[in-house]
A and B are shown apart, each in its own frame.
Chain A
Amino acid sequence: MRVAVLRFPGTNCELDTHHAFTQLGADVEIVWHNEQKLPEAIDLVVLAGGFSYGDYLRSGAIARFSPIMKAVVEYANEGNCVLGICNGFQILTEIGLLPGALKRNNNLHFISKFQTIKVIHNDNKFLSQCSTQEILNVPIAHADGNYYINPEQLDEIESNGQVLLRYCDSDGEPLAINGSLNAIAGVCNKNKNVFGLMPHPERAMEAILGSMDGKKMLEGFMN
């Protein structure tokens, strides 16, 4: 299993992500955004969290024009797996690999805490090790995580089974943590090979750090 983790100026979760996938037994390479090509024979590309280009203009708006992104779009269009975590999710919506957009949280706060999320669909590589309706506890840390999509497309992604994760309370009821429509925390594309989520699974890999639920999520890519 070979994983490429992208690093843009301002990315700050690439080492955690590298550590997480290494812990799962993957061979991980960090790739600078100015590269034109992805490394040979990789099985997964991860866009890690952070503040690419200082979140100037909009989160992810400038990173999407980095040279490496052309290769990422080709890689995704060939049906390969791409995962965007937090700022990575924002970049994937900006470039159009994922539907919708992420706006400022409704309460205008940077929300940084452990948050329960519910698995909606596990018929995909990412969440294949989780059960549907399973409640996971994973850190969130974002100011722009308020998922928006127009009403027609919202119906479409819901009926296509593209909404993979929702914020929820401890009983699994949807929770309006940041204003996201339908409490959406993570989505995928129609082909279910491009995934994006605001929570940080790479920060929930060890019990001593509060949760191992992120490990369960990322393990899906290892099979």
Chain B
Amino acid sequence: MRAVVNVYLKEGVLDPQGKAIAHALDSLGFGELVKGVRVGKQMVLELDSNDEASAKVEVEKMCETLLANTVIEDYTIEF
């Protein structure tokens, strides 16, 4: 089983990398279409489990303790 964890800066926390990319897209002529960019990290976890519910509980623990810094970041988990 595979879990995909995405970690992003929280809404309201300035994302300087996202801003720089949005600026670059604007200078390439995509400015009218692109309203904003946020940069995140994706971690793909290969899990030895067939039970999504119990795996999700464990992956949430991983996010809270290590994969995200919840002072500044939010995370999503997808299977």
Q: Does A11 contact B (CB under 8 A)?
A: no
Contact string against B for A residues 118-153, beta-carbon threshold 8 Å, 1 for contact and 0 otherwise: 000000000000000000000000000010111000
Q: Are A93 and B16 in contact (CB under 8 A)?
A: no
The residue on B at minimum CB distance from A96 is: B71
Q: Are A61 and B16 in contact (CB under 8 A)?
A: no
Q: Are A101 and B16 in contact (CB under 8 A)?
A: no
Q: Which one of B13, B17, B66, B67 contacts A148 once the chains associate, using CB atoms below 8 Å?
A: B13
Q: Are B16 and A148 in contact (CB under 8 A)?
A: no
Number of A-B pairs whose CB atoms are under 8 Å? 35
Q: Are B17 and A108 in contact (CB under 8 A)?
A: yes
Chain B residues with CB below 8 A from A179, complex form: 14, 16
Most buried by A among B14, B41, B72: B72
How many residues of B are counted as interface, with CB atoms below 8 angstroms from the partner's CB atoms? Answer: 12
- Contacts A57-B66, A57-B67, A65-B66 given; indicate if A101 touches B72 (C-beta within 8 A): yes
A-B contact list, 25 entries, CB within 8 Å = A57-B41, A57-B66, A58-B69, A61-B66, A62-B66, A93-B71, A100-B71, A101-B69, A101-B72, A103-B9, A103-B13, A103-B16, A104-B16, A104-B17, A105-B16, A106-B16, A108-B16, A108-B17, A108-B20, A146-B16, A148-B13, A148-B71, A150-B71, A179-B14, A179-B16
Question: What are the 6 closest A-B residue pairs judged by CB atoms, nearest first?
Answer: A101-B71, A101-B72, A106-B16, A101-B69, A148-B72, A104-B16
